[in-house]
Amino acid sequence: MRDVRYAVGSGTSDAMGSGTSGVREILRGVDLLAHPGEVTVLLGPNGAGKTTTLSCAQGLVKPSQGTVRLLGQEPFRCGAELRARVGVMLQDGGLPQSVRPRTLLRHVARLHRDPWPVDDLIDRLDMGSFVDTAPRRLSGGQRQRVALAASLVGNPEVVFLDEPSAGLDVQSRQTVFDLVDELRRRGLGIVLTTHLLEEAQRLADAVHILKDGRVVRSGTVAELTEDEHGRRLIFVAPRTLTTQELDCAPTPLTHEGGNRPGARWSVDDVATPEDLSAIARWWEQIGMMPGEVSFESRSLEDVFWEVSSS
């Protein structure tokens, strides 16, 4: 999608979205591209516009401005043929209340030319124990898995998953991760939203962070977590360090939980071999062999907080 804007309410909005007469611009120029065989993850705080972005991409709502293409077509004008190539899992599941999961999946499968075999999908998502249960008796996590299965049963080329792992226990989340990995290997384009940053870090080929209806950062996890100022070095001191020793350190040090034997000390902005050897020379000078030495990489969570608080 290119420069997608989406406004709700009546009247007209100005370019900054401040609008007049009750118009609110929810998306304010979203640019993003998702590729086949890749997992594209949308991140952002509540209300950032992730679900609305998915709705525009799927053709559920028509943007006020901008261009959206889904498998080369305009999604809000397309017919059944395009819809059959796209799987959608909505945030609230959108499942009928009166149909048991197996019946529902078989029904949806019959609507498609080349469906995913229902029994295989039930196995993959470990749904055997509840697939014949009345919908009102399903737990939130079980409903999530049924909704995911329903989005995949048509064997789509592209799938949109709005918070697919919300409310899942650790084991079910792993099942969903494994399935998403497999979908990627099969060449599907997967676009998903999540609030679980670890999940995003693990699954994403591309990440787009939204804030206030705009994409504020985009890239691979490696690109987003790259730190141009260098990395943080952590070492464990086997003993308390004296003020004199700390004074001659090549760079300021911070510690967690007090200057005591076994404390974890950190050195920020270690960017070059010279920085590293200056620290090693200091250890030599004060006659201390540190315990564990490691680099701490920035995580997607660090980037997310940086973006959210700016």
**Are 292 and 236 spatial neighbours (Cβ–Cβ below 8 Å)?**
yes
By residue count, the chain amounts to: 310
256 Cβ contact list (under 8 Å, min separation 6) = 263, 264, 266
Identity of the residue, 52 or 155, whose beta carbon is nearer to ligand ATP in the bound complex: 52
Is residue 43 involved in binding ligand ATP (CB under 6 A)?
A: no
Cα separation, 146 vs 95, whole angstroms: 8
Residue 44 contacts ligand ATP per CB under 6 A = yes
Provide CB contacts within 8 A for 32, sequence distance 6+: 1, 40, 42, 53, 208, 215, 218
Cβ 212 to ligand ATP shortest distance, Å: 9
Write each residue from 2 to 21 as x if it is in contact with ligand ATP (CB under 6 A), else as -, in one continuous string: ------x-------------
Q: Candidates 17, 49, 87, 164: give the one binding ligand ATP (CB under 6 A).
A: 49
Q: Are strands 2-8 and 189-193 parallel, antiparallel or unpaired?
A: unpaired
| Region of 41-49, 72-80, 228-236, 266-274 interacting with ligand ATP (CB under 6 A) | 41-49
Cα-trace Rg, the chain: 25
Q: Which residues contact 80 (CB under 8 A, 6 or more apart)?
A: none
Q: Which is nearer to ligand ATP, 91 or 299 (CB)?
A: 91
Q: Which stretch binds ligand ATP (CB under 6 A): 49-57, 73-81, 197-205, 246-254?
A: 49-57
From the list 48-56, 80-88, 127-135, 169-177, the region that binds ligand ATP by CB under 6 A is: 48-56
- Asked whether the beta carbons of 230 and 271 are under 8 A apart, the reply is yes
What is the separation, in whole angstroms, between the first and last Cα of the chain?
25
Residue 94 CA to residue 199 CA, distance in Å, equals 23
Shorter beta-carbon distance to ligand ATP: residue 53 or 151: 53
CA distances from 97 to 55, 119, 137, 143, 227 (A): 23, 21, 10, 11, 49
**Closest distance between ligand ATP and the C-beta of residue 24, in Å?**
6
Interface residue with ligand ATP, options 7, 41, 43, 51 (CB under 6 A): 51
Q: Which of 1, 4, 7, 26 binds ligand ATP (CB under 6 A)?
A: 26
Return the structure tokens found at 187. Answer: 């060449």
Single out the segment in contact with ligand ATP by CB under 6 A; choices: 30-38, 42-50, 133-141, 227-235.
42-50
Task: Using CB under 6 A, count the residues that bind ligand ATP.
Answer: 10
Q: Which of 1, 30, 43, 48 binds ligand ATP (CB under 6 A)?
A: 48
**Among 28, 50, 145, 211, which residue sits at the site for ligand ATP (rule: CB under 6 A)?**
50
Q: Which of 40, 52, 58, 194 binds ligand ATP (CB under 6 A)?
A: 52
Neighbours of 229 (CB within 10 A): 10
Considering the complex, state which of residue 52 and residue 142 has its C-beta at the smaller distance from ligand ATP: 52
Q: Judged by CB, which is closer to ligand ATP: 13, or 155? A: 13
Q: Where are the extended beta strands (E) located within the chain?
A: 2-8, 24-30, 39-43, 65-67, 86-89, 158-162, 189-193, 206-211, 214-219, 231-237, 254-256, 263-270, 293-296
Minimum CB distance to ligand ATP smaller for 216 or for 278? 216
Q: Does 46 interact with ligand ATP (rule: CB under 6 A)? A: yes
* Residue 47 binding ligand ATP, by CB under 6 A: yes
Q: Burial-class residue 258 by CB neighbours within 10 Å (0-12, 13-18, 19+).
A: exposed
**Interacting residue ranges for ligand ATP, rule: CB under 6 A:** 8, 26, 44, 46-52
